[in-house]
Amino acid sequence: MAGQNTAVFGIFKASPAANKAVSRLTSAGFSNSDIFLQRSNIGGLLSGAGVSQNEALPYEGNARRGCILVTVQCSNSLEIDRANTILEQNGAESIFSASENVGTQSE
């Protein structure tokens, strides 16, 4: 059966806001293993997560200015909505997502 994983991304200007968002995400039930903070090579990380290089390039400039990327791996639409809300409420400058289709193999 095929499923879909979606990564929700939030760009923060400062570490305290990003750290607060991470704390709120874990309090809301997201696992630490589903939350990532990235302070450099944001463009490369986004490209690897399915965001086109043209779309990812502007975010690399944010990294050079000290911005922080918070990534939340979500497995359903409720988690996506919850992650978006938490990132927004905690001061994310920009919020966007990318989906990756995941299939399970039958033997």
pTM of structure: 0.78
Total count of domains within the chain: 1
SS (H, E, C) the chain: CEEEEEEEEEEECCHHHHHHHHHHHHHCCCCHHHEEEECCCHHHHHHHCCCCHHHHHHHHHHHHCCCEEEEEEECCHHHHHHHHHHHHHCCCCEEEEEEEEEECCCC
Residue 44 lies in a domain: yes
CATH number of the domain within which 36 lies: 3.30.70.3450
Kindly report, residue by residue over 49-105, the tens digit of the pLDDT.
667 767 766 666 666 677 899 999 999 999 999 999 999 999 999 899 888 654 434
15: pLDDT strictly greater than 50 = yes
Stretch 3-14: mean pLDDT, rounded?
85
Residue 105 lies in a domain: no
